[in-house]
Amino acid sequence: MSKRNILVLATGNRNKYEEIVKIMSLSEWDVKFLKDFPNISTPEETGTTYEENALIKAKFCSELLKFPSLSDDSGLEVDALEGRPGVYSSSYGGVEGDSERNIHRLLKDLEGIPWHKRTARFICCAMFVLPDGFFHCEKGIVEGHIAVEPYGDNGFGYDPVFVPLGYENTYAELLQEEKNKISHRALAFQKMAEFLKEFDYENCSIR
């Protein structure tokens, strides 16, 4: 396999990695997980938007490893909380990446708020970056509601409390394949897969 066929997913989150690989079915790429490279972690996310943070992660990775890179920055925006936790979703409960705490705080903040006011959306920004600095972004948004308590064991993060619009179940109650068809990540990375199909790696342009 030649060097340019390697694509590194610039995420430290294995759940995201597994979802993205399944969504994209990247047959012509040798997809690597950042954790396959020893001693490399994701950089600090100092941006204030999903796009900025996604670019920071993918750029860091492609510059360092000299491979094309993909990243995902995502978050949950709750209307009753004026859009919080948003880009700070992974540390909302006070401890980075602690989903139980994040959910606990979210449900506490929404205590007493009726269903029709528990509207929220999951947003995903998918970013593709080449070592020369070229980048391309695709976005996916799924509207929904925040459940009153957690339901389901599948998925990760806020999945047990997010009910996508048109469904009666949380993301965590859906089968993995179902979530990977309709999620914010699915929408963003399906579009990215289409983009990459048309991408001319040799000349770095759309065919």
Give the active site residues: 73
Look up residue 125 and give its two tokens: 């920004």
Asked if 69 is part of the footprint of ligand ITT (rule: CB under 6 A), the reply reads no
Verify cis geometry, omega within 30 degrees of 0, for the bond prior to 85: yes
Nearer to ligand ITT, 121 or 185 (CB): 185
Residues 129, 155, 170, 189: which binds ligand ITT (CB under 6 A)? 155
Give CA–CA dist 56/42, Å, rounded.
Answer: 9
Cα–Cα distance measured from residue 156 to residue 174, given in angstroms and rounded to the nearest whole number: 12
Q: Does 180 bind ligand ITT (CB under 6 A)?
A: no
150 makes contact with ligand ITT (CB under 6 A): no
Q: Considering only residues 90, 118, 127, 196, which one is a binding residue for ligand ITT as defined by CB under 6 A?
A: 90
Closer of 142 and 196 to ligand ITT (Cβ): 142
Closest Cα partner for 126 from 15, 12, 20? Answer: 20
Tell me the C-alpha distance between 160 and 174, whole Å: 10
What residues make contact with ligand ITT under the rule CB under 6 A? 11-13, 16, 42, 45, 72-75, 89-90, 97, 99, 102, 155-159, 171, 183, 185
